[in-house]
Amino acid sequence: MLAYKEIIKSIANTEKNFFLVNDNNSTENNKKRIKNRKNIKKNKKPNIIIKKETTVNNKWIMTMLFQMMITKICNESKTIYKIYNELLDSFLIVKSKEETENFKNTFYKIQRVYNILNRIAYMYKFKKTKIVVNTDMCLNELVEGEKNIIAIIQNNSKYLFNVKDLINIIETSLTSSHNFFVKPKKIQNPYNNVAFNKSTLYNIYFFVKFNTNYHSDLLSKFFDCDFNITTFKNTFEHILRDYVIKNFVYRSPANILVDEINYMIEEFNDICETSNISNRININKNFPKDRLIKIMQPYLFFFCKALYSYHPTDKKNFVYYFKQGLLRFSKFNPHFGKLECKLVNKVNEDFTTTIKCETYFNKKHIPFYNTKKQNEIFLTDHLECENVVLNNTEINSYIIRNYSDNNNNNNNNDNYDNLVS
C-alpha cells in the first residue's frame, strides 16, 4: 500500500499545512495594513487592499480527511472502500454537498491513477512471467495467444489452460457432492492445488464470455452470486442436485452403475410383486456390463430423479416415468438378459454336419427413444404444442410422448393402472 499512500499525498496535498501563512504577498499586505492604521490616526484616506480570491478556504478539510485515510490504512485492517465510506459519513463534510463532491472527485482521481499503475504493473508481470505448464489435460501442447487458450498467473508462474478443460474443472468443483448432498468445493489449479483468487475467477468468466464460443451455465450462476460459494449453494441447490444426479448416472464407474441398476431392477420387481403383475426383469449376472449400462442408463436416470430430486412434483412425475418405462421394457421382451441356447448346424472338415448347442444372451429390447416419430414430426413440431405437461426441462419431450402413447394402449389393464398410479 506504499504506492497508494504516495498517490494520496501527491493528489490530495496531504503534506501541505494550510494553517500556516505561506502567501508571497503576505508581507506587502501586512505593510499596507500598518500604513492604513497610521492613515486612520492622521485622518487620511486609507488605501484599499484588494484581496485575491483563493481556493484555500476549505482545502484544510480535504487535507485532514485524506490524512485520516492514510492513518487508517496504516493502522487498521480495513479495505480502502470501507475507509472511504466511513470518511464520507464524517462530521467534517456530512453537512456540505460541495465538500462531499470534492472529496468524492479527489478519491476518484486517486483510484484512477492507482488502477492505471496496477494495470501497467500487471501487463509487465504478465509478459515477463515464465510459462511452467503449456499442455492441456490430454498432454496436447498449447500456444499462448491462440483461440480458447487462457493464461493464468499464480505464485509467479504462468499456466496455460484450454477453456474447455477449465470449465470442466470449475463445474466439477461446484457440483461436488457426498451421497447426493451438494458440497461445492473451492476451485483450484490442478497443477499445484492452490485455489484461484477472486480476480482470477473474474478474468476466467470474462475471457470465456467474450473470447470463446463456450458457455457454462454454472459459471454464469456463480458469477451472479459474486463468486460467493455459500450464496451460490443456498440459491441454486435444487439445480446443483440435478447436476449431481446426471453426473452420477453418466460419469460413474461401471461397477457402481451395475450395482445401482441391479438395485433399481430389484425395486421394480418388488413393485410388480406388490401390484400382482407378472412382469419381471431377471438379468443374468454374466450379462455384458457395458451393454447393460448403455441400455439401462436412461431408466436409471429416471429412478435417481424419483429418489433424490428436491422438487415434489418432479419426484412424483419421475416415479411415474420410471415405472411406466420399465413396464414397457419388460412387456416388450420378458426374456431380456437371460442366457439362452440355440441349435446350430456346424459343418465339419469332412463335410459332415453336426448339431451343436450355442449359448447367447437375449439382448432384444425396446428403444428408449422413438426416433421414428421424432423424424416424422421434426419439420412440424414448432407449429403446435402437444397437450403434454412437462415439469422438468431435462425430460425429453419425445420420451414423455412415448409414455403417453403407451398409456393409451394399456387403459384396459387395471393392474398396470394401479402400478403407475
Full pLDDT tens readout for the chain, 421 residues: 778 888 888 887 777 655 444 444 455 555 555 655 555 555 544 444 444 433 445 667 777 788 888 888 777 777 888 888 888 777 777 667 787 888 888 889 999 998 999 889 889 988 999 999 999 999 999 999 899 999 999 988 999 999 999 999 999 999 999 889 999 999 999 999 999 999 999 999 999 999 999 999 999 999 999 999 999 999 999 999 999 999 999 999 999 999 999 999 999 999 999 888 888 899 999 999 999 999 999 999 999 999 999 888 888 899 999 999 999 999 999 999 999 888 888 888 777 888 888 888 999 999 888 788 888 888 888 888 776 544 433 334 333 344 334 444 443 343 433 444 3
> Do residues 152 and 161 touch, judged by C-beta distance below 8 A?
yes
Give the count of beta carbons closer than 10 Å to the beta carbon of residue 27. 10
What are 58's three cell numbers? 476549505
- pLDDT score of 94: 62
* pLDDT for 85: 83
Q: DSSP letter string over 142-189?
A: --TTSTTEEEEEETTEEEEEEHHHHHHHHHHHHT-EETTEE-----EE
- The pLDDT assigned to 392 comes to 38
* Alpha carbons 166 and 390: distance in angstroms, whole number: 33
**DSSP secondary structure string for all residues of 115-131:** HHHHHHHHHHHHHHSPE
d(CA 207, CA 191): 21
DSSP summary character for residue 280: -
Q: Which residues of 328-345 are buried (b: 16+ CB within 10 A; e: fewer)?
A: bbbbeeeebbeeeeeeee
Question: How many C-beta atoms lie closer than 10 Å to residue 239's C-beta?
Answer: 15
| CB atoms inside a 10 Å sphere around CB 181 | 11
3-state secondary structure 194-235: EECCHHHHHHHHHHHHHHCCCCCHHHHHHHHCCCCHHHHHHH
Alpha carbons 382 and 301: distance in angstroms, whole number: 27
Q: Give the pLDDT confidence score for residue 56 in this predicted structure.
A: 44
Q: What is the pLDDT of residue 41?
A: 53
Per-residue confidence (pLDDT) for residue 31, from 0 to 100? 57
Which three cell numbers mark 147? 483461440
In terms of Cα–Cα distance, which of 162, 161, 151 is closest to 127? 151
Please, what is the Cα angle at 368 between 327 and 291, to 5 degrees?
95
Q: Which residues pair with 359 in a beta bridge?
A: 341
pTM assigned to the model:
0.71
